[in-house]
């Protein structure tokens, strides 16, 4: 058997379709966000990153960095074990308390990533609650889909952001079955935001628990960065809030927040929580500092909103089509995988602008896009450089302009 030949056949197919992933090798420059050194031989030495999930640049915030350094000096590098066997550090407990407070919940539970928190929490809920049915929004993230699949619970997919469809599907289920409505607040590919009040209303009506992924919203929305649920005054209506420490908080890790019983249940039964080394204490300390900072500082959020609004206005003025949405994510639609990659390559090589092309299977075929996430630290000059480059490329590639 020639296994490499088998691997290569499938890789060739990906390449032919324009869906082969190429990673940009970068060295982020601390103190110079959003600049990074590029190791791509074709690109300039220094590039401007336009697609970071470190949405506010908190990964380079001096307070956050200092918290990480102090904790390393205090505790060393690794946690030294799983949470169960010697790995529960005081910094983990402090962070969990901080997260519970952020979402006004009784408790919170830390995981090594947001992916793992979704996978572990949903698979545990779905497999441990007898006859549970999980109702999943059709555009939910891969980590939720995998968790649901692994749970082997009955799964019902409802139409994206459609509370009426959810209502119909809940009504068709046995009244006494445990039901879990799983959805996100900000959907990161289209940047749309769920109608949370309606979804919560429908779930309540049918006695379903709500499972909300706020990964792209924590730190960014709500007066203390508690996410869309905080902004809408709905945190107490959500059974379980899941989030990440790897995006707006600029660190790493994932979590759930909910009742004491819910967190204890997941803590006690989730294999993805129990059988893995706990996060380094320094990561927990840095995340804690980042959350604390964004609880009391609105400056970063306001600056980000200003940059986002400005880039949208500039794109509109040049007739460059982008999805209109109420979030911080600006998808510029290319609708062709090969063109999408080509545009990203030219932006990188000729202009020092790094934006990752988003192709299938991350988004449906025919909706390929460049996804821009302006941060508080993208300057007016950065915005102008980007818009000039896009304007030139739009002409060269004869891409359709938005109808004025």
**Residue 54, interface with ligand PLP (CB under 6 A)?**
no
Residue 403 in tokens: 């109808």
* Residue 59 touching ligand PLP (CB under 6 A): no
Judged by CB under 6 A, which stretch of 66-74, 112-120, 284-292, 335-343 contacts ligand PLP?
112-120
- Applying CB under 6 A, does 273 fall inside the site for ligand PLP? no
For residues 189 and 371, give the distance between their C-alpha atoms in angstroms, rounded to a whole number.
7
CA distance 38 to 44: 7
Name the segment binding ligand PLP (CB under 6 A); options: 211-219, 226-234, 358-366, 383-391. Answer: 211-219
Which of 257/386 has CB closer to ligand PLP? 257
* Helix residue ranges per DSSP H, 241-379: 260-269, 271-274, 281-296, 299-318, 337-351
Cβ(51)–Cβ(373) under 8 Å?
A: yes
Distance of CA 198 to the CA centre of its chain: 23
Q: Please provide residue 333's backbone torsions phi and psi, each rounded to the nearest 5 degrees.
A: -85, 125
With binding defined as CB under 6 A, does residue 190 bind ligand PLP? Answer: no
Q: Would you mind telling me the total number of residues written for the chain in this entry?
A: 404
- 184 part of the interface to ligand PLP, by CB under 6 A: yes
Structure tokens at 228: 């869309």
**Distance between CA atoms of residues 37 and 182, nearest Å:** 39
Q: Identify the residue among 61, 89, 136, 143 touching ligand PLP (CB under 6 A).
A: 143
Choose, by CB under 6 A, the member of 50, 55, 115, 354 that binds ligand PLP.
115
- The least CB distance from residue 118 to ligand PLP, in Å, is 5
Burial 225-263 (b: 16+ CB within 10 A, else e): bbbbbbbbebbebbbbbbbbbbbbbbbbbbbbbbeeebb
Q: Is 141 in the site for ligand PLP (CB under 6 A)?
A: yes
* 118 binding ligand PLP? (CB under 6 A): yes
Active-site position among 105, 169, 179, 247: 247
How many residues touch ligand PLP under the rule CB under 6 A: the total is: 14
Q: Which of 148, 215, 234, 291 binds ligand PLP (CB under 6 A)?
A: 215
Of 294, 208, 206, the closest CA to residue 243 belongs to 294
Category of 398 on φ-ψ map: left (φ > 0), alpha (ψ -120 to 50) or beta: left
What is the footprint of ligand PLP within residues 231-260 (CB under 6 A)? 244, 246, 254
Position closest to ligand PLP via CB: 114
Q: Which is nearer to ligand PLP, 194 or 387 (CB)?
A: 194
The smaller minimum CB distance to ligand PLP, of residues 120 and 282, is found at 120
Query: Is 169 known to be catalytic?
Result: no
Cβ 14 vs Cβ 2: under 8 Å: no
Catalytic residues: 247
**Site residues (vs ligand PLP, CB under 6 A):** 113-115, 118, 141, 143, 184, 188, 213, 215-216, 244, 246, 254
């Amino acid at each position: 058997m020639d296994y490499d030949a088998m691997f290569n056949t499938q890789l060739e197919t990906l390449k032919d379709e324009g869906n082969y992933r190429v990673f940009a090798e970068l060295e982020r420059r601390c103190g110079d966000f959003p600049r990074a050194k590029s190791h791509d031989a074709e690109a300039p030495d220094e590039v401007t990153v336009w697609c970071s999930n470190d949405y506010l640049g908190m990964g380079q915030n001096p307070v956050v960095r200092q918290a990480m350094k102090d904790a390393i000096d205090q505790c060393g590098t690794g946690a030294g074990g799983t949470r169960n066997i010697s790995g529960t550090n005081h910094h983990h407990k402090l962070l969990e308390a901080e997260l519970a407070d952020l979402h006004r919940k009784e408790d919170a539970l830390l995981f090594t990533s947001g992916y793992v928190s979704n996978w572990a929490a949903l698979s545990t809920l779905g497999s441990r609650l007898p006859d549970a049915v999980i109702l999943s929004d059709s555009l939910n993230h891969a980590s939720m889909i995998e968790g649901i699949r692994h749970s082997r619970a009955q799964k019902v997919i409802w139409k994206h952001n459609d509370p009426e469809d959810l209502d119909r599907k809940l009504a068709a289920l046995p009244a006494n079955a445990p039901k879990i409505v799983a959805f996100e607040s900000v959907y990161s590919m289209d940047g749309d935001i769920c109608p949370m009040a309606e979804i919560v209303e429908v779930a309540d009506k049918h006695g379903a628990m709500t499972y909300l992924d706020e990964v792209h919203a924590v730190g960014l929305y709500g007066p203390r960065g508690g996410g869309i649920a905080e902004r809408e005054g709905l945190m107490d209506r959500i059974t379980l809030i899941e989030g990440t420490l790897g995006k707006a908080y600029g660190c790493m890790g994932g979590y759930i927040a909910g009742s004491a019983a819910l967190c204890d249940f997941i803590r006690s039964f989730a294999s993805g929580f129990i059988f893995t080394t706990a996060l380094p204490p320094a990561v927990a300390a840095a995340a804690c500092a980042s959350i604390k900072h964004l609880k009391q500082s609105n400056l970063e959020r306001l600056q980000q909103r200003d940059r986002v609004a400005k880039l949208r206005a500039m794109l509109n003025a040049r007739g460059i089509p982008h999805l209109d949405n109420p979030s911080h994510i600006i998808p510029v639609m290319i609708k062709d995988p090969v063109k999408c990659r080509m545009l990203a390559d030219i932006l990188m090589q000729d202009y020092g602008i790094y934006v990752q092309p988003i192709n299938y299977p991350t988004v449906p075929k025919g909706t390929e896009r460049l996804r821009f996430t302006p941060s508080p630290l993208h300057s007016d000059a950065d915005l102008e450089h980007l818009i000039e480059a896009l304007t030139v490329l739009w002409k060269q590639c004869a891409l359709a302009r938005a109808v004025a």
